[in-house]
Amino acid sequence: MRSLARLAADLPFSLDDTAAAAEAFARGRAGDAEACRHADLWAYVWMVRYVTRKFLTERVGTPSDMDAVQSRAMDGILKAKEQVSDPARFPAYVSVVCKNALLSHRARRHVTVEADDTTLEPEPEDAHADLDRAAIRRDVETAIEALPAGIRTVARMRFLDEAPFEDIAEATGHPLPTVRAYASKATARLRDLGALRAHYYDDVLPPGADGTAE
Protein backbone atom coordinates (compact mmCIF):
# COMPACT_ATOMS: atom_id res chain seq x y z
CA MET A 1 0.00 0.00 0.00
CA ARG A 2 2.93 2.36 0.64
CA SER A 3 4.19 1.82 -2.91
CA LEU A 4 0.68 2.50 -4.20
CA ALA A 5 0.56 5.71 -2.19
CA ARG A 6 3.81 6.81 -3.81
CA LEU A 7 2.37 6.12 -7.26
CA ALA A 8 -0.88 7.88 -6.41
CA ALA A 9 1.09 10.90 -5.22
CA ASP A 10 2.10 11.45 -8.85
CA LEU A 11 -1.53 12.09 -9.79
CA PRO A 12 -2.73 15.72 -9.93
CA PHE A 13 -6.01 14.63 -8.32
CA SER A 14 -7.19 12.28 -5.58
CA LEU A 15 -7.39 8.58 -6.36
CA ASP A 16 -11.06 8.68 -5.38
CA ASP A 17 -11.84 11.68 -7.61
CA THR A 18 -13.42 9.67 -10.42
CA ALA A 19 -14.71 12.78 -12.18
CA ALA A 20 -11.14 14.05 -12.52
CA ALA A 21 -10.02 10.62 -13.72
CA ALA A 22 -12.73 10.65 -16.40
CA GLU A 23 -11.68 14.14 -17.48
CA ALA A 24 -8.05 13.04 -17.73
CA PHE A 25 -9.08 10.05 -19.82
CA ALA A 26 -11.10 12.28 -22.16
CA ARG A 27 -8.23 14.74 -22.58
CA GLY A 28 -5.82 11.88 -23.12
CA ARG A 29 -7.98 10.46 -25.85
CA ALA A 30 -8.02 13.92 -27.45
CA GLY A 31 -4.22 13.87 -27.66
CA ASP A 32 -2.98 15.21 -24.32
CA ALA A 33 -0.08 12.83 -23.55
CA GLU A 34 0.29 13.94 -19.92
CA ALA A 35 -3.43 13.50 -19.27
CA CYS A 36 -3.27 10.06 -20.89
CA ARG A 37 -0.45 9.10 -18.53
CA HIS A 38 -2.48 10.31 -15.55
CA ALA A 39 -5.54 8.32 -16.67
CA ASP A 40 -3.45 5.17 -17.13
CA LEU A 41 -1.76 5.63 -13.77
CA TRP A 42 -5.09 6.24 -12.04
CA ALA A 43 -6.62 3.09 -13.55
CA TYR A 44 -3.62 0.96 -12.56
CA VAL A 45 -3.41 2.22 -8.97
CA TRP A 46 -7.19 2.06 -8.49
CA MET A 47 -7.25 -1.51 -9.79
CA VAL A 48 -4.35 -2.69 -7.60
CA ARG A 49 -5.87 -1.07 -4.51
CA TYR A 50 -9.26 -2.63 -5.22
CA VAL A 51 -7.92 -6.16 -5.72
CA THR A 52 -5.47 -5.94 -2.80
CA ARG A 53 -8.16 -4.79 -0.39
CA LYS A 54 -10.48 -7.59 -1.47
CA PHE A 55 -7.80 -10.24 -0.97
CA LEU A 56 -6.79 -8.84 2.41
CA THR A 57 -10.41 -8.81 3.55
CA GLU A 58 -11.27 -12.31 2.39
CA ARG A 59 -7.94 -13.85 3.34
CA VAL A 60 -8.42 -16.51 0.70
CA GLY A 61 -5.89 -17.13 -2.02
CA THR A 62 -2.16 -16.79 -2.56
CA PRO A 63 -0.03 -13.91 -3.82
CA SER A 64 0.03 -15.62 -7.21
CA ASP A 65 -3.79 -15.68 -7.18
CA MET A 66 -3.84 -11.95 -6.52
CA ASP A 67 -1.33 -11.36 -9.31
CA ALA A 68 -3.52 -13.37 -11.69
CA VAL A 69 -6.61 -11.33 -10.81
CA GLN A 70 -4.69 -8.08 -11.25
CA SER A 71 -3.39 -9.25 -14.61
CA ARG A 72 -6.89 -10.22 -15.74
CA ALA A 73 -8.28 -6.91 -14.57
CA MET A 74 -5.54 -4.94 -16.30
CA ASP A 75 -6.19 -6.79 -19.57
CA GLY A 76 -9.86 -5.84 -19.28
CA ILE A 77 -9.04 -2.22 -18.50
CA LEU A 78 -6.75 -1.96 -21.52
CA LYS A 79 -9.48 -3.40 -23.74
CA ALA A 80 -12.09 -1.00 -22.35
CA LYS A 81 -9.64 1.89 -22.68
CA GLU A 82 -9.35 1.28 -26.41
CA GLN A 83 -13.00 0.55 -27.11
CA VAL A 84 -15.08 2.57 -24.66
CA SER A 85 -17.37 4.97 -26.49
CA ASP A 86 -18.05 7.46 -23.67
CA PRO A 87 -14.90 8.72 -21.90
CA ALA A 88 -16.97 10.08 -19.01
CA ARG A 89 -17.88 6.52 -18.03
CA PHE A 90 -14.35 5.13 -18.02
CA PRO A 91 -14.05 5.04 -14.17
CA ALA A 92 -17.26 3.02 -13.94
CA TYR A 93 -15.91 0.61 -16.56
CA VAL A 94 -12.72 0.21 -14.52
CA SER A 95 -14.82 -0.65 -11.48
CA VAL A 96 -16.88 -3.21 -13.39
CA VAL A 97 -13.84 -4.85 -14.99
CA CYS A 98 -12.11 -5.16 -11.60
CA LYS A 99 -15.20 -6.64 -10.00
CA ASN A 100 -15.68 -9.12 -12.84
CA ALA A 101 -12.05 -10.23 -12.63
CA LEU A 102 -12.53 -10.91 -8.93
CA LEU A 103 -15.84 -12.74 -9.51
CA SER A 104 -14.17 -14.90 -12.13
CA HIS A 105 -11.43 -15.81 -9.66
CA ARG A 106 -13.99 -16.65 -6.96
CA ALA A 107 -15.79 -18.97 -9.34
CA ARG A 108 -12.60 -20.89 -10.09
CA ARG A 109 -10.81 -20.97 -6.76
CA HIS A 110 -10.70 -23.64 -4.10
CA VAL A 111 -10.90 -22.45 -0.50
CA THR A 112 -7.50 -23.04 1.08
CA VAL A 113 -8.05 -21.56 4.54
CA GLU A 114 -10.74 -22.04 7.12
CA ALA A 115 -13.20 -19.19 7.47
CA ASP A 116 -13.22 -17.52 10.86
CA ASP A 117 -15.01 -14.54 12.38
CA THR A 118 -12.54 -12.12 10.82
CA THR A 119 -12.86 -13.65 7.37
CA LEU A 120 -16.63 -13.39 7.50
CA GLU A 121 -16.76 -9.79 8.68
CA PRO A 122 -18.33 -7.47 6.08
CA GLU A 123 -15.89 -5.24 4.26
CA PRO A 124 -15.96 -1.61 5.44
CA GLU A 125 -17.67 0.86 3.14
CA ASP A 126 -15.16 2.55 0.87
CA ALA A 127 -14.90 4.50 -2.35
CA HIS A 128 -15.19 1.30 -4.41
CA ALA A 129 -18.64 0.61 -3.00
CA ASP A 130 -19.69 4.19 -3.63
CA LEU A 131 -18.55 4.01 -7.24
CA ASP A 132 -20.30 0.66 -7.74
CA ARG A 133 -23.56 1.98 -6.33
CA ALA A 134 -23.42 5.15 -8.42
CA ALA A 135 -22.64 3.23 -11.61
CA ILE A 136 -25.39 0.67 -11.01
CA ARG A 137 -28.00 3.31 -10.16
CA ARG A 138 -27.13 5.39 -13.23
CA ASP A 139 -27.39 2.36 -15.53
CA VAL A 140 -30.67 1.26 -13.94
CA GLU A 141 -32.10 4.78 -14.35
CA THR A 142 -31.06 4.85 -18.00
CA ALA A 143 -32.54 1.40 -18.64
CA ILE A 144 -35.83 2.26 -16.95
CA GLU A 145 -36.21 5.43 -19.04
CA ALA A 146 -36.06 3.22 -22.14
CA LEU A 147 -38.91 0.99 -20.95
CA PRO A 148 -42.44 1.35 -22.41
CA ALA A 149 -44.34 4.17 -20.76
CA GLY A 150 -46.90 1.78 -19.29
CA ILE A 151 -44.42 0.05 -17.00
CA ARG A 152 -41.83 2.81 -16.56
CA THR A 153 -43.39 4.41 -13.47
CA VAL A 154 -43.86 1.08 -11.73
CA ALA A 155 -40.26 0.09 -12.51
CA ARG A 156 -38.91 3.39 -11.24
CA MET A 157 -40.83 3.19 -7.96
CA ARG A 158 -39.98 -0.48 -7.45
CA PHE A 159 -36.31 -0.58 -8.41
CA LEU A 160 -35.10 2.95 -7.63
CA ASP A 161 -37.35 3.96 -4.75
CA GLU A 162 -37.71 0.39 -3.40
CA ALA A 163 -41.40 1.00 -2.80
CA PRO A 164 -43.63 -1.92 -1.73
CA PHE A 165 -46.14 -3.16 -4.30
CA GLU A 166 -49.01 -1.91 -2.17
CA ASP A 167 -47.63 1.65 -2.11
CA ILE A 168 -47.07 1.59 -5.87
CA ALA A 169 -50.65 0.43 -6.44
CA GLU A 170 -51.98 3.23 -4.26
CA ALA A 171 -49.80 5.88 -5.93
CA THR A 172 -50.53 4.81 -9.52
CA GLY A 173 -54.13 3.68 -9.15
CA HIS A 174 -53.31 0.31 -10.72
CA PRO A 175 -54.70 -2.88 -9.17
CA LEU A 176 -52.10 -4.80 -7.19
CA PRO A 177 -51.94 -7.71 -9.69
CA THR A 178 -51.27 -5.20 -12.48
CA VAL A 179 -48.45 -3.62 -10.52
CA ARG A 180 -46.86 -7.03 -9.93
CA ALA A 181 -47.24 -7.90 -13.62
CA TYR A 182 -45.63 -4.63 -14.71
CA ALA A 183 -42.74 -5.15 -12.28
CA SER A 184 -42.24 -8.66 -13.63
CA LYS A 185 -42.18 -7.40 -17.22
CA ALA A 186 -39.65 -4.71 -16.27
CA THR A 187 -37.46 -7.28 -14.54
CA ALA A 188 -37.48 -9.52 -17.61
CA ARG A 189 -36.43 -6.64 -19.85
CA LEU A 190 -33.75 -5.25 -17.50
CA ARG A 191 -32.03 -8.52 -16.63
CA ASP A 192 -30.96 -9.11 -20.24
CA LEU A 193 -29.39 -5.69 -20.78
CA GLY A 194 -25.61 -5.74 -21.10
CA ALA A 195 -25.46 -2.43 -19.24
CA LEU A 196 -26.80 -4.15 -16.13
CA ARG A 197 -25.35 -7.65 -16.63
CA ALA A 198 -21.88 -6.12 -16.68
CA HIS A 199 -22.23 -5.26 -13.00
CA TYR A 200 -22.77 -8.88 -12.02
CA TYR A 201 -21.42 -11.20 -14.69
CA ASP A 202 -18.16 -11.78 -16.51
CA ASP A 203 -19.68 -12.41 -19.93
CA VAL A 204 -19.98 -8.79 -21.09
CA LEU A 205 -18.17 -5.50 -20.91
CA PRO A 206 -20.07 -2.36 -19.96
CA PRO A 207 -22.20 -0.80 -22.72
CA GLY A 208 -20.08 0.86 -25.34
CA ALA A 209 -16.88 -0.90 -24.33
CA ASP A 210 -17.26 -3.22 -27.30
CA GLY A 211 -18.12 -0.40 -29.67
CA THR A 212 -21.84 -1.19 -29.75
CA ALA A 213 -24.78 0.55 -28.14
CA GLU A 214 -27.23 -1.12 -25.82
Question: Alpha-carbon distance 42 to 22, whole Å?
Answer: 10
Strands (E) in the chain, as ranges, are: none
Query: What pTM, to 2 d.p., does this model score?
Result: 0.53
Question: Alpha-carbon distance 208 to 214, whole Å?
Answer: 7
pLDDT digits (tens, 9 = 90+) for 29-52: 999 999 999 999 999 999 988 888
Q: Over 80: is that where the pLDDT of 122 sits?
A: no
The 8-class DSSP code of residue 200 comes to T
Instruction: Answer whether 103's CB lies under 8 Å from 41's CB.
Output: no
pLDDT digits (tens, 9 = 90+) for 56-89: 776 656 777 888 888 888 888 888 888 788 888 8
Determine the number of helices (DSSP H) and then strands (DSSP E) in the chain: 10, 0
